[in-house]
Chain A
Amino acid sequence: MRLFIPALGVLWLVAASAAMAASTEADFKSALAAAEAAEKDAGTLKNQWTTTEQTLAAARKAAAAGNFEAATSAAKQAEALAKASIAQAKEQQQAWRAAVIR
């Protein structure tokens, strides 16, 4: 029994880290949906970035090749870029005034 509990712990750790390390197709789809939703919002503000589009394309390409680890990572990066472009657009709604030649 003394040996059984640590062995169970080791097994749990191995299983948990494997689950954390390997992204699945479902992980990718979830990350892609979030990225696409953010990029759509940036589009509504007419403030998308080319790098977001490129990163989204890279995510889809990696997924098509079955590399969901890279695909999920790229999709998350695309979401971060899209959110940054949204933040930029919102900030510039007022910030532009400070740059005007007076």
Chain B
Amino acid sequence: MLRALYATIATLFLALAQPAAATDAVNPQADFKAFRDFFTKRFPNVPLNDFVNGPYSMDADLRKQWVAIEDFPPYEFAVDKGKEMFATPFKNGKSYGDCFPNKGIGIRQNYPYFDVKRGEVVTLELALNRCREANGEQPFSYVKDDMAALTAYMAFTSRGKPFDIKIPNDPRALAAYVNGEKYFYSRRGQLNFSCASCHVQSPGEHIRTEVLAPALGILAAMPIYRSEWGSMGTISRRFVTCNSQVRGVPIEPQDENYRDVEYYLSYMSNGLPIAGPGARP
């Protein structure tokens, strides 16, 4: 009698436990579909590719200002500088192009990628500094100036190419993806905000004078010239300032968490066109 009772309890336990395990199972493709559906259903009048224009896809007045700004884009100097830097050889005679497929032209849409040899996510910013160090040069700051110029030029040569982020069949890649997802949805800072608090729950809403961008396609226009900064900034700079704005102490640029969240968000934007460099208020 007791045995039968135990067996029944065990069966019930297993039956209840299985759906929970299924919920926790990692399925990037299902996440991708749910993520895209969420934004396209919430903003049915926004063409899919327009999400890469961030706040301009959400606010008509802001869009008019942006169209006017694009006549003399503030990121143009960075593109020119990046192009010149790209063409200038290192002291050893090699150049950035030697570190990248297709000499670094038109490849932005493939970054970040999961490096199966190293077992980690490699962003374009990280790859650029590793290229410099491999050629005997000092690494750049990850947040602005030279790094922003280089990535601006590389993005410019990739404009219109769809994001093509792959998650290889490697448990470490899946773990990096989940870590990025976790970082994106975790609340932090004294204001207790997650990335999703602004960019999933509130895109199109105002936070003070700013219009919040949707998370879908949010990295496609990076790096950006931001009027608030009065200068160019990289993806690293954007993450650092996001953390500060919610009263969280930023982690180091290119920390594993930042690279993983870039990986997650870029995968969610697969198929959307590169639009960088961009201009933002």
Q: Provide the A53-97 mask, 1 if CB < 8 A to any CB of B, else 0.
A: 100000000000000000000000000010011001100100111
Count A-B pairs with CB separation below 8 Å: 54
- Assess whether B186 is interfacial by the CB under 8 Å rule: yes
Q: Are A51 and B188 in contact (CB under 8 A)?
A: no
Q: Are B196 and A88 in contact (CB under 8 A)?
A: no
| A84, B188: Cα distance in complex, Å | 11
Of all chain A residues, which has the CB nearest B245? A50
Q: Are B38 and A100 in contact (CB under 8 A)?
A: no
Q: Are A100 and B185 in contact (CB under 8 A)?
A: yes
| A70, B255: Cα distance in complex, Å | 36
Determine which of B186, B248, B251, B255 lies in contact with A96 in the assembled complex, contact meaning CB atoms within 8 Å: B186
Q: How far is the CB of A93 from chain B (nearest CB, A)?
A: 8
- Assess whether B160 is interfacial by the CB under 8 Å rule: no
Q: Are A92 and B186 in contact (CB under 8 A)?
A: yes
Number of interface residues of A (CB under 8 A): 21
* Residues in A neighbouring B255, C-beta threshold 8 A: 46
Instruction: Point out residues on B near A: beta carbons under 8 Å.
Output: 24, 31, 34-35, 38, 181-182, 185-190, 192, 194, 196, 200, 244, 247-249, 251, 255, 257
Q: Are B185 and A96 in contact (CB under 8 A)?
A: yes
* Residues in B neighbouring A102, C-beta threshold 8 A: 34
Residue from the set B190, B194, B251 with the largest chain A CB neighbour count within 10 Å: B190
Of all chain A residues, which has the CB nearest B194? A99
Of all chain B residues, which has the CB nearest A49? B190
Q: How far is the CB of B242 from chain A (nearest CB, A)?
A: 13
Q: Are A47 and B194 in contact (CB under 8 A)?
A: no
Q: How far is the CB of B236 from chain A (nearest CB, A)?
A: 15
| A52, B275: Cα distance in complex, Å | 38
* Residues in B neighbouring A48, C-beta threshold 8 A: 248-249
- Assess whether A20 is interfacial by the CB under 8 Å rule: no
- Assess whether A21 is interfacial by the CB under 8 Å rule: no
Q: Are B34 and A101 in contact (CB under 8 A)?
A: yes
Residue from the set B188, B194, B200, B244 with the largest chain A CB neighbour count within 10 Å: B188
Chain A residues numbered 33-48 whose CB sits less than 8 Å from any CB in chain B: 43, 46-48
5 closest A-B pairs by beta carbon, nearest first, are A48-B249, A96-B185, A92-B186, A96-B186, A99-B185
Extra inter-chain contacts (18) besides given A96-B194, A101-B31, CB under 8 Å: A46-B251, A46-B255, A48-B248, A48-B249, A49-B247, A49-B248, A50-B189, A85-B190, A89-B188, A95-B187, A96-B186, A97-B185, A99-B185, A99-B200, A100-B185, A101-B34, A101-B35, A102-B34
| A101, B42: Cα distance in complex, Å | 13
Q: Are B188 and A47 in contact (CB under 8 A)?
A: yes
| A46, B257: Cα distance in complex, Å | 10
